[in-house]
Amino acid sequence: MSSTNSISMNRAHIEQLVRDSLRRQVGGMGRSRISGPNPLVVNISARHCHLSQSAVETLFGKGHQLTPKKWLYQEGQYAAEESVTLIGPRSRVISNLRILGPCRDFNQVELAYTDAISLGFDIPTRNSGDIKGTPGCMLMGPAGFLKMQEGVIRAAPHVHMAPEDAAFYGVENKSFMKLKIGGALGVTFDRIFVRVDPSFKLEVHIDTDEGNSCGFGPDVPCELVR
């Protein structure tokens, strides 16, 4: 057996062990009481941006490549070492706005509602990539400025899932589900946008405002329902 195949098998075995362990942990952060094919994880997504390679080079210099700092739950996604400064319409700024990689073919900034108010933005709630008609902004990096004509949004709460998860829950790509959050507040989010792809792990993303509003944190139970 080649070393490459051995590494792949070891990685797959480790991932399966992790999933089995998550299934045994009832009431952990973002894990459902319902036992599906894969463990449900809910993560709070803080403000960040996605950039094209051209934008990265404008901000950090010709030929610059993003450097992974922290790998995220979805395969191949990471928080980069690089960050930028966002300049809002009132000349107020957010420093150290984290870039998420890898690069995409469009530029997008995702803010929570309170971020937008502080900066002077009137931003819509949109699904990622749906940026037509949204406000723009200025980003500043160590090598230059990038003027975005559009692309500043509040990301709609959404769930990533593989086809086997979609079959289990009885939903389709681009449909909607509900996310029931337990704990002291007992909040239900009624419009969780469904994204289905074979590469996805079962994970819900909500922003910092949404997480704070429902008191989400360690040991708060949650459940996805149709």
Contact at 8 Å (CB) between 47 and 99? no
Contact at 8 Å (CB) between 205 and 43? yes
> Distance of CA 160 to CAs 44, 55, 73, 180, 219, Å?
14, 26, 11, 16, 21
* CATH 2.40.40 residue spans of the chain: 25-44+157-225
Residue 136: strand, helix, or coil? coil
Residue 24's pLDDT is what? 34
CATH class of the structural domain 25-44+157-225 = mainly beta
Nearest to 74, CA basis, from 217, 219, 199: 199
CA separation for the pair 64, 57 (Å, rounded): 6
Residue 30's pLDDT is what? 54
Residue 191's pLDDT is what? 97
Q: Would strands 41-45 and 48-50 be described as parallel, antiparallel, or unpaired? A: unpaired
Residue 91's pLDDT is what? 84
CA 107 to chain centre: 15
Instruction: Give strand pairing partners of 78.
Output: 71, 101
CA quadruple 75, 76, 81, 86: dihedral positive or negative? Answer: negative
> Distance of CA 24 to CAs 21, 40, 46, Å?
5, 12, 28
CA 61 to chain centre: 26
pLDDT in tens, the chain (226 residues): 444 444 444 544 444 444 444 333 323 345 566 678 999 999 999 999 999 999 999 999 999 999 999 999 999 999 999 999 999 988 899 999 999 999 999 999 999 999 999 999 999 999 999 999 999 999 999 999 999 999 999 999 999 999 999 999 999 999 999 999 999 999 999 999 999 999 999 999 999 999 999 999 988 999 999 9
> Distance of CA 63 to CAs 97, 107, 186, Å?
21, 18, 49
CA separation for the pair 166, 194 (Å, rounded): 9
